A and B are shown apart, each in its own frame.
Chain A
Amino acid sequence: MKKLLDHGILIAGVLFLLTPLYLLFVSSTHEVDTLIRDGLQWLPGSQGLAAYEKALNQSLGFSGEATGWRMLFNSLVMGLGFAIGKIIVSMAAAYAIVYFRLPLASFFFWAIFTTLLLPLEVRIIPSYAVVSDLGLLNSYTGLILPLIASATATFYFRQFYKTVPDELLEAALLDNTGPVRFFIDILVPLSRTMMAAIFIIMFVVGWNQYLWPLIMTTEESYTTIVMGLKNILSTVRDSHIPPYDVAFAMIILAMLPPVLVVIIFQKWFVKGLVESEK
């Protein structure tokens, strides 16, 4: 009886999370007319995945460049670039902090640490000004680099390096290993699971960026799928016959890649999340 109640609560939780997604997906397989007339649908419709084809190939903007495919590609670049860039930059920085006795070490540490305090949202306008001054508006570099300027991953790797036994470094020193060699031959291979875990988290964070790309891209060819939703919203609001089916398809497309990544790499994802917030 108690078991049943437990499962009941869990299933209620699952339904609470899953129902909205189901509703949107099922409705995306209906004709727009049905949706306008009868609202969201609980059962699959006749159109199959036609709305997805439209969402992927049709352009939403004026220039014709911002197709669904293009936006997905931009989001992929953003997610991968952010995750990879962040891992490389922060692994290297954490290595310098943990393994060397630098005269300015505590200054560096605090400088990097401070970045944890202020999310990009808080300094969004001056950040825009800096990126604009550097001529990086409408570029992948401008999209990605300012987001890397936070130290979450650096702290994550710092924590991890501290758990690597000292003897490993000592054995390597006796094996005639220099600092660069030790990093590449020993530390990077040892960090593989950690890298995978943090990669999952960072990919999702990068993919899901909204405000920053919204502000700093004006060219449609740089639109990411998450910020593209804003265009969908205004299209739906302004149209006589709102393209609900395409809008729903876009929502599903925008969430599918990061959700799949999290589901497929569940173990690493949980590890990355729990470890990175420590």
Chain B
Amino acid sequence: MTAQKQKLPHGITPYLFILPQLVIIAVFFFWPAAQAVHMSFMLEDPWGLASQFVGFENYALLFSDSSYGRSFIFTLVFSFLVSLISLALALLLAVKANSVLRAQKSYRVLLTWVYAVAPAVAGLGAYFIFNRQIGVLSQAFNDMGWAFNPETDPFDASFMLILVAVWKQVPVNFIFFLAGLQSIPKSLQEAAQIDCQSDSKRFFTITFPLLAPTSFFLLVINLTYAFFETFGLIDTLTQGRPAGATTTLVYKVYQDGFLGADLGSSSAQSVILMILVLVLTAIQFRFIERRVHY
């Protein structure tokens, strides 16, 4: 039996304590979420004067819309690439930072500060660095014989977006990996050192398996990041250009809802995203449950 917290006798006090949180989430979470579900079944005229119930028509339209399918695929590919690349880079850096003795603290600070940079700020910065008039990178690419043009070439635009998203995401992963590495008991590392000569073999047979829970958990975090928090990045860097080739699902909700004023479709997209996140979270929780026993 796990020890249960001693409970306080209570009257109205605990309700007063929990009330602010409940009110805020009721008003700003449950109400809007319910509205989104509701609106996804409605068709509103362009002036917002009348709306009628249309069942799953908004969903049906979405699934037959090739641009939505493209956005879906782009989002998945983009998210997985960003997650995998940034995880791999971060792991490499964390392992190295954990093994060097000199300047460890400085490395940690220098490799984590980017966490504090807003995606929108990163996006705008990247806009100038990749800019074809003044940017250094497009220049460099051109010199290498690559006619780099993110304004017209979907591959170039995606490449640029992924690079910046990775830049932004490496520090978070680095922090978690380093924390994971440092939580491996020293005695265990020493035992491994006695049992196994080769550095790389030791890493793959001892360290990496021990980091596996962290890695899996980070993968989920990274996917969520690539799904949602890259909004600011996309809005400042490509705005979905060229021709919607870099539009993620979240960006499309915003585009269709706010810029296109198609509330029904935008809401249906929101609901689909909710389901996606639900699935991701379910996976994450099954995993966390296992992690407790790890």
Contact = CB atoms under 8 A, between A and B. Distances in A.
B222 to A, nearest CB: 11
A117 to B, nearest CB: 5
A7 B266 contact: no
Interface residues of A, number: 99
Contact of A254 (B18, B118, B257, B258): B118
Interface stretch (B28-36, B51-59, B67-75, B203-211): B28-36
Contacts of A14: 107, 110-111
Contacts of A233: 124, 127, 236
Interface string A54-69: 0000000000000000
Contacts, number: 290
A183 B14 CA distance: 11
A169 B6 contact: yes
Contacts of B117: 208, 255, 258-259
Given A10-B107, A233-B236, A108 B167 contact: no
Q: Which of A3, A151, A211 has the most CB of B within 10 A?
A: A211
A36 B263 contact: no
B29 A248 contact: no
Contacts of B100: 3, 6-7, 10
Contacts of A270: 108, 112, 175, 179
A119 interface: yes
Interface in B243-294: 250, 253-254, 257-258, 263, 266-267, 270, 273-274, 277-278, 281
- Closest 4 CB pairs between A and B? A208-B118, A126-B35, A93-B21, A126-B32
Interface of A: 2-3, 6-7, 9-10, 13-14, 16-18, 20-21, 23-24, 35-36, 39-40, 88-90, 92-93, 95-102, 108, 111-112, 114-119, 121-127, 129-131, 134, 145-146, 148-151, 154, 161-162, 166, 169-170, 173, 179-180, 182-183, 204, 207-211, 215, 226-227, 229-230, 232-233, 244, 247-248, 251, 254-255, 258-259, 261-263, 266, 269-270, 273-274, 277
